[in-house]
């Protein structure tokens, strides 16, 4: 094996082993070094075109810059070496672009500062990455709609504090998941115009080097790149990027909630749902019977990592004066990794939920393991009009204690109490203690969630 073929990546987002577990090829491509440098070049070319358009630099110079500034001519090794010395990649890039463009190279990077180019390039990356996330969420919502409708009336135990509480339906649980991602889709649409904006302001953000042409160049440059124009310079106002990564934290947080539900419901004792079967997936090296919920585990891990990056982005908002002394650099870590991890988690969610195996019989079985106690509230409310609420509570409480101490079912315990049989015959008692008859508005809530989702 030669040194060329030895895997050298050291993080999961680029690892030959883990990169497709924690990310997607599409998102990695958007944030690759190659794509980033191409975006730097796109911004430099757009700047030259904008300045030529408003008469700041000669039109012919802009034409040469646009034609000659190509990424295939970049010496990446030299750029890396110079970046290590300078601390930023733009001056090393400009050196190479100037060389490529001959006399026109005098006008490369005219009136700009390093952060202008880097921030605008990242705005372009984030804009395109949000499009990918938007599409993934739409696909996931469609999966959740189908799953919610299919299991609208599938009864199962609702649980609070990890204890059986009241009956719900599996469709109701999925509708709650769906509504979260409906809101994320709306948040993303609202966020986009605050983030997809150009940054071109010069050394201290005042556009002083362009005289009275600054705003015109800024607008023309934004139009060339199909970005918005900000109200003010945002060199040290980082709320837009922080908001974007915090949105990803919300998205992956919701995925983490779904993952936790699936993992617990897939446990041997619950056995209510399973991730799609793929031979060998989730296998143990020592226990042949194992079928671990791999996609859910990856979703949960991504949620934890993105949450940390969200905090880092908020911390990086605290910047000094008109140009920061370091917090900006933290974004270089947080933004690419957050988008790659989020795309990976959404990919895992689409796989897991798109082929989720739902054991309705096991849900029905689990709903009956309390022998009717799960609908004690239903019985109490059914008796209250005849006995008063407090007396009904006491009667049902005593019946529940009988079941817990002596066995049998709640229906049997109630049928042995004259205070109950005075008002209800055995068939009425059986109806009251059937969990499927105490679903509240769970099915109707599914209908409402699906209908509202169709409008987004």
Rg (CA), the chain: 30
pLDDT at 280 over 60: no
Q: Give the DSSP letter of residue 163.
A: E
DSSP 179-190: HHHHHHHHHHHH
| CA dist., res. 439 & res. 262, Å (int) | 21
- Which entry of 284, 329, 365, 423 is annotated as an active-site residue? 284
Contact between 57 and 51 under an 8 Å Cβ cutoff? The reply is: yes
φ, ψ for residue 151, nearest 5 deg:
-110, 30
Is domain 114-197+234-360 in CATH 1.10.3210.10, yes or no? no
**Residues recorded for the chain:** 456
For strands 163-169 and 273-274, give the pairing: unpaired
Q: What confidence tens digit (pLDDT) does each residue in 187-233 have?
A: 999 999 999 999 999 888 899 988 899 999 999 999 999 999 999 99
Contact between 360 and 349 under an 8 Å Cβ cutoff? The reply is: no
Contacts of 84 (CB under 8 A, 6+ apart): none
Q: What confidence tens digit (pLDDT) does each residue in 438-456 have?
A: 899 999 999 999 999 999 8
- Which entry of 3, 10, 161, 427 is annotated as an active-site residue? 161
pLDDT band at 286 (very low <50, low <70, confident <90, very high): low
Using CA atoms, how far residue 181 sits from 178, 195, 386, 454, in Å, is 5, 20, 44, 12
pLDDT at 3 over 60: no
Q: What confidence tens digit (pLDDT) does each residue in 354-380 have?
A: 999 999 999 999 999 988 888 888 889
- Catalytic: 284? yes
* The residue to which tokens 């989720």 are assigned: 356
CATH number at 19-107: 1.10.275.10
| CA dist., res. 294 & res. 209, Å (int) | 55
Nearest C-alpha neighbor of 316 from the set 327, 325, 305: 327
| CA dist., res. 91 & res. 235, Å (int) | 18
**3-state SS class at 127:** helix
Average pLDDT over residues 57-67: 95
Give the pair of three-digit tokens for residue 5.
Answer: 């073929």
| CA dist., res. 24 & res. 3, Å (int) | 26
Give the DSSP H or E segment for 160.
strand 155-160
pLDDT at residue 227, as a whole number = 97
Q: Which pTM does this prediction carry? A: 0.92
Contact between 210 and 203 under an 8 Å Cβ cutoff? The reply is: no
**3-state SS class at 141:** helix
What's the CA dihedral at 117, 120, 122, 126 to 10 degrees?
-170
**Sequence ranges of the domains in the chain:** 19-107, 114-197+234-360, 373-432
Give the orientation angle of helix 76-86 with respect to helix 90-101, to 10 degrees. Answer: 130
pLDDT band at 4 (very low <50, low <70, confident <90, very high): low
Q: What confidence tens digit (pLDDT) does each residue in 84-130 have?
A: 999 899 999 999 999 999 999 999 999 999 999 999 999 999 999 99
Query: Top-level CATH class of 373-432?
Result: mainly alpha
**3-state SS class at 88:** coil
Give the pair of three-digit tokens for residue 133.
Answer: 């996330």
Contact between 188 and 247 under an 8 Å Cβ cutoff? The reply is: yes
pLDDT at 294 over 80: yes
| CA dist., res. 338 & res. 130, Å (int) | 12
| CA dist., res. 156 & res. 364, Å (int) | 6
The two domains 19-107 and 373-432 share their CATH topology (first three levels equal):
no
């Amino acid at each position: 094996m030669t040194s060329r073929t030895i895997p050298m990546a050291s993080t999961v987002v680029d690892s030959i082993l883990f990169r497709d577990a924690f990310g997607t090829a599409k998102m990695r491509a958007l944030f690759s070094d190659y794509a980033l440098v191409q975006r730097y070049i796109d911004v430099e070319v757009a700047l030259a075109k904008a300045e030529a358009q408003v008469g700041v630099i000669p039109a012919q110079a802009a034409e040469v810059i646009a034609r000659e500034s190509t990424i295939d001519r970049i010496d990446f090794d030299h750029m890396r070496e110079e970046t290590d010395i300078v601390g930023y990649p733009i001056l090393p890039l400009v050196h190479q672009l100037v060389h490529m463009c001959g006399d026109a190279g005098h006008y490369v990077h005219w009136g700009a500062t390093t952060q202008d180019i880097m921030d605008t390039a990242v705005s372009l990356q984030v804009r395109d990455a949000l499009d990918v996330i938007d599409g993934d969420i739409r696909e996931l919502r469609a999966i959740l709609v189908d799953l919610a409708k299919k299991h609208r009336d599938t009864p199962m135990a609702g649980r609070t504090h990890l204890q059986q509480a009241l009956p719900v339906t599996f469709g109701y649980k999925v509708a709650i998941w769906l509504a979260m991602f409906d809101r994320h889709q709306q948040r993303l649409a609202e966020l986009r115009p605050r983030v997809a904006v150009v940054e071109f302001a010069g050394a201290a953000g005042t556009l002083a080097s362009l005289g009275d042409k600054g705003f015109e160049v800024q607008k023309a440059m934004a139009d060339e790149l199909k970005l918005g124009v900000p109200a003010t310079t945002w060199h040290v106002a980082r709320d837009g990027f922080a908001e974007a990564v915090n949105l990803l934290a919300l998205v992956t947080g919701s995925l983490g909630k779904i993952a936790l539900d699936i993992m617990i419901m897939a446990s041997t004792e619950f056995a209510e749902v399973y991730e799609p079967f793929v031979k060998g997936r989730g296998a143990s090296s020592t226990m042949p019977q194992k079928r671990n919920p791999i996609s859910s585990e990856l979703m949960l891990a991504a949620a934890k990592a993105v949450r940390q990056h969200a905090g880092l982005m908020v911390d990086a908002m605290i910047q000094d004066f008109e140009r920061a002394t370091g917090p900006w650099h933290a974004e270089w870590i947080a933004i690419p990794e957050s988008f790659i991890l989020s795309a990976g988690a959404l990919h895992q969610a689409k796989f897991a939920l798109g082929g989720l195996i739902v054991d309705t019989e096991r849900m029905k079985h689990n709903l009956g393991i309390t022998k009717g106690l799960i609908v004690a509230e239903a019985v109490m409310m059914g008796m209250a009009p005849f006995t008063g609420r407090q007396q009904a509570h006491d009667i049902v409480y005593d019946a529940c204690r009988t079941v817990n101490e002596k066995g049998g079912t709640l229906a049997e315990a109630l049928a042995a109490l004259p205070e109950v049989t005075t008002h209800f015959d055995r068939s009425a008692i059986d109806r009251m203690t059937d969990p499927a008859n105490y679903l509240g508005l769970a099915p109707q809530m599914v209908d409402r969630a699906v209908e509202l989702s169709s409008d987004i």
